[in-house]
Structures are given as structure tokens and as C-alpha cells.
Structure 1
Amino acid sequence: MARLALPFALLLGLLPAAAPAAGPAAVACPVRAAVRDAPHLATAPGRWGAAQWTAAAAGVGAVAVAAGLDRDTAGQWPGHDRLAQVGNAWAVAAPAAAIAWYGGRGWLGRDPAALQVAANVTEAALLAVAATEVVKVAVGRERPAGDLENDRRLHPGNTAGRRNSFPSGHTALAFATAAALQEAPLPASTRAAAYGLAGLTAWSRLHDERHWLSDVVAGGLLGWATGRYVARRHPAAGRLTAVADGRRLLLAWQRRF
């Protein structure tokens, strides 16, 4: 399913990319933005300060703690199959719905703020899926799949589906969407619900024995970091911009809808 999310997000990304400029600043094509931002994101550790390194260390620690619980938490989630189906579907439904809603609203209303939210969700989804696929191949971890003794079996460079457990792509996609939406004009309860449903996606991957606990923790952290990065790099909130035409300095206010 995670492999299907990339072309799906690419297709939906055409909506905000094709929309006309609707304000003082045009919204960049999210696919091009993802290609442009990927190197900047990958080299971000070189620009980190103490706070960022502390947060990264905490994330690594969380994954390490989860890894110690992998066998204890695997195969421990019987029943609730329908709820797990909802969690699995949410990973793709969340970005699709957000892109369609904000992209359509921005295109019809010629609103750059709405288009920016759609573009941010698209870019966050693309970067999250791409990052997880790279790490999956690099690590080559075996999935639980009924064998709860294989949590330490790694096959670096292997692309087989049964050996791409770490990290969870579904979880990364769901959390990337939730993080990207934190800058959208949504009630606090709705933004919190986005994270809650992303957590449901993580649980569903454990329920189906498609991932270990450390897989979903790593996927959630990766997705959250990606979505947060995109939302902060391309804010959709109202802002004052200055444009010089050679003889005059023009000030324009781009507001959040």
C-alpha cells in the first residue's frame, strides 16, 4: 500500500500545481518543491543547533526503547479487524482528502493560502514516502508476518516486500499529513484528531503484523518531522511581503482564508 501512495500523491499533486496564481505570491508546484527541498531536508543536521540535536537524540532513544519491546508487542492485537481496516485506509485517505479539499477550495476561490495547504500536504506525502522507501531498502528488516523471532534479521539493500519493514510507510504518511495540517486553519480539536487517527494507522500496522513497534515509532517520527519541515518552510498563514519594481516598493498582505 505504501508503494501505491507515491503515484497517488503525484497524481493529486497536479491539482494545486495546475491552479492559477491567486494572490501576491503564486504557489509552487509541490512536486518541484519536493525535488528542490529534498537536498535541503537531507542536509538539515548540518545546520542544527543544540535543541534540534536534543530532539533527534530523544527520537532515536524512543525508537531504541520501542525496539526492546518489539517481540513483546508483536502478535498481541487480536480482533478489531474493521478498526484496523480503517487505520490502514486512513494513511492514504487522509492526504487524498486534504489535497482534494484545500486544492479544490483554493482553485475555485482563487485562494493561495488554501492552495499552499494542499501543496504542503502533497509535498510532505512525497518526501515521507520517498524517505521511508530509501530507509526500507537500506535496512532490509524482515516483517513479523507470523514469525516473531525475526525482529533482528536485516538484509541491507534488499527490495523484497517481506524485507522492508523498517520504518512503517503507512505510519509515516499519516503523521506527515497530520503535521502538515497543523498550519491549516482548523480547530485545535481537528488538528489533534489528525494525530489521533495517525496513531490508529500505527496501531493497525501492529494489528496486522506488518510491522514491529519500533517500525511504527520510527515511521511516525519521520513523518512528523517531514510534515513539520514542509509546513514551516512554506507557511500558509497570512504574511506581509514586499515587492520592488525598480521605482516603487509595494507591500502586499497575503491572508489565511
Structure 2
Amino acid sequence: MRILSLATMVLASGWVWADTPDTSPATPDAVTAGRSQTSVQMDSPADPDRFGNLPRLVWDDAGRVVTAPARWDSSDWLKAGGAVLAIGTALALDRSTEQEMAKHRTASADRFAKAVQNLGGTPSVLIAGGTWLAGVAFKDPEIRATGVDTMATMGIAQLLLAIPLKEITGRSRPSADKGTHDFHPFGGGQSFPSGHTTQAFALASVLAEHADTPWVSGLSYGLAGLVGVARIEQRQHFLSDVVAGGLIGTFVGKTVVRYNQSRRSDAGSKLAMSFTPMIQPGGYGVSLALKF
């Protein structure tokens, strides 16, 4: 970003305009006037991450997610087809995966799963909020943007996709012992998709997009994957529930981050202009600042 400052101060003569120099002695009032400067902001770039703009930001992000298929090209539809195929394959493997998990279930594995699954619950929300607060406290726009995108992604992924799908499919959890294909739309089942996995992958995808570093991406998605495994181990979800949750969280996260980053870029590239009337003994003028 470049700052072009055009300062035009007229005392005896000047660039913009000048009054005839006053040769009379400066009065106290004139000296006081010379010290006071009034700054008027004519136009400033919109800050999408400003607290007051967050409701509008989330609303726009939700619209972007919902209408995403309308902007897909052939490669995007191919990816969507791959996602459907992945869920279908997982459905076919639900029973065998559950059986294998039951064979290797131990007390230590149970303790580990209970600890890891929390990454897809309240702690992930605290991480998102803490990231935003850290960005505000340290005045770091990138950290602040990461927190904003994480909170927006979690809210949209859960409220717009995961929770409605749970109600629509009404799939029974493995712990209910009703089999892998017990679906009763709007019947109260809460298994498909996995909400914990959705949230874990929402966090992972946002961190990976912002960091754009292989080790961060690997660690983020690896931990999110462990959340999904933990939910299967705890008999709260089938494999297909976890796969669906991971795909939802990742899709929403990537969509939100890329859209918001483009908005931040647009906001930063807008022309901002401010001017400061300046009055001093013997003349007056204006200071003009342009930021683009």
C-alpha cells in the first residue's frame, strides 16, 4: 500500500489557496488557531473485520456458501461428485468400520478419544474467539481475520448445513444399536453428519488457508481427522457421518476464507482521501492525504 501525502500549507503564498499575509502582530487567538487542526475524513476503505461489520460479513458469507454451486465450473462439479462418492463409499464401510473399532477398543483408547473429541466442541469456539481477540489486542489484521473467518465458518457450517441435515436425515447413532441404515427423517436422530467433525474441519480449513504452509495444514487437518476417529470410537457416529462432517467443514471454510480475503483486498485497494484545514497566523491552507 502506498501513501501519497500532498501537504499544501499557505503562509505567505501557497499551492492551493492563500490569504494575503497579515503583517500585523499575531494575537493570542491567532496563535491558538494555528495550533488547532480539524481533520475531516472524506472517504475511507471499508473494514470487513470491524466489529460493527461482522453481522453483515457473516450474512454475506452465508449467501456465498449457499449460492456457491451457481459459480462452479466443471472441475468444481467433479470435486462435488468425488465428495458424494466418498460419502457413498463410507456408507458401505460403516458396518465393517464399527466392528473393527469395537475389536480394538481399550480403556486407554477410550480416554484418548474422550480428550481428542473436545477439539470439535467448545474449545474450538474458544480458539476462534481467542484468535480474534489476540488480533485486536496486538493490532494484527491477519490474526484478527483468521479469528473472524473461523467464527463465521463454524456458525455457517453448523447452523446452515450440519444441524438441518441432522434433522432431515434423522439417522440413529451407533450407540442406539439400530444398525447403520436406520434413517427416520425428522425423527430425532442426530448422527448424520458429525457436528464435532464439522467444527474441527471448519477450524482446520481456515487455519490452513490463512497459513498456507504445509506443516500447518498437515497438523490442522490431522487433528481434525483424529476428532472424527474419536467420535467413531465413542460410538457417537459412523464413518460416513464423519466423512460428511469433514467435507462440510472444509467446503465452508475454504469458501468463506477465499471470499473474505477478496473483500479485504478490495477494501484495501480503495482510494481514501482526507483533508485537514490548517490555520496559522498570517494565512491558511489545507493538507490533503491520499491512500491507495
Pick the aligned partner of 2:231 from 191, 195, 205.
Answer: 205
Q: Shift in Å at residue 233 of structure 1?
A: 0.9
Pick the aligned partner of 2:136 from 107, 111, 132.
Answer: 107
| CA distance 1:156–1:249, change in 2 (3 Å) | farther
Question: Which residue identity does 2:270 align to in structure 1?
Answer: A
Residues 19-72 of structure 1: per-residue CA shift (max 9 Å, x gap): xxxx95521544442233223311211221101100000000000000000111
Conserved? CA contact 1:107–1:115, under 8 Å = yes
TM-align CA RMSD: 2.6
Secondary structure at the counterpart of residue 174 of structure 2? coil
Secondary structure at the counterpart of residue 156 of structure 1? coil
Gap regions ≥5 residues in structure 1: 1-22, 253-257
Partner of 2:269: 241
Partner of 1:219: 245
Task: Confirm whether residue 136 of structure 1 aligns to residue 162 of structure 2.
Answer: no
Partner of 1:7: none
User: How many residues are aligned here?
Assistant: 225
Larger deviation, residues 62-71 vs 76-85: 76-85
Q: Distance in 1 between matches of 2:255 and 2:238?
A: 26
Partner of 1:91: 120
| CA distance 1:71–1:185, change in 2 (3 Å) | closer
Question: Which residue identity does 1:41 align to in structure 2?
Answer: V
Q: Distance in 2 between matches of 1:238 and 1:139?
A: 37
| CA distance 1:108–1:236, change in 2 (3 Å) | farther
Q: Distance in 2 between matches of 1:81 and 1:236?
A: 43
Partner of 2:12: none
Q: Distance in 1 between matches of 2:124 and 2:99?
A: 27
Share of identical aligned residues, percent?
A: 32
Question: Which residue identity does 2:146 align to in structure 1?
Answer: V
Partner of 1:8: none
Q: Shift in Å at residue 107 of structure 1?
A: 1.3
Q: Distance in 1 between matches of 2:64 and 2:261?
A: 17
| CA distance 1:85–1:237, change in 2 (3 Å) | farther
Q: Distance in 2 between matches of 1:132 and 1:50?
A: 26
Task: Confirm whether residue 76 of structure 1 aligns to residue 76 of structure 2.
Answer: no
Q: Distance in 2 between matches of 1:127 and 1:96?
A: 17
Q: Whose radius of gyration is greater, 1 or 2?
A: 2
Q: TM-score, normalised on structure 2? A: 0.70
Task: Confirm whether residue 38 of structure 1 aligns to residue 62 of structure 2.
Answer: yes
Q: Distance in 2 between matches of 1:189 and 1:225?
A: 20
| CA distance 1:202–1:31, change in 2 (3 Å) | farther
Question: Which residue identity does 1:116 align to in structure 2?
Answer: A
Question: Which residue identity does 1:40 align to in structure 2?
Answer: R
Residues 115-142 of structure 1: per-residue CA shift (max 9 Å, x gap): 1111000001101111100111111111
Gap regions ≥5 residues in structure 2: 1-43, 276-287
Partner of 1:20: none
Q: Distance in 1 between matches of 2:135 and 2:238?
A: 39
Question: Which residue identity does 1:222 align to in structure 2?
Answer: I
Task: Confirm whether residue 47 of structure 1 aligns to residue 77 of structure 2.
Answer: no
Q: Distance in 1 between matches of 2:289 and 2:164?
A: 45
Pick the aligned partner of 1:62 from 86, 90, 98.
Answer: 86
Secondary structure at the counterpart of residue 74 of structure 1? helix
Question: Which residue identity does 2:70 align to in structure 1?
Answer: G
Conserved? CA contact 2:193–2:245, under 8 Å = yes
Larger deviation, residues 137-146 vs 243-252: 243-252
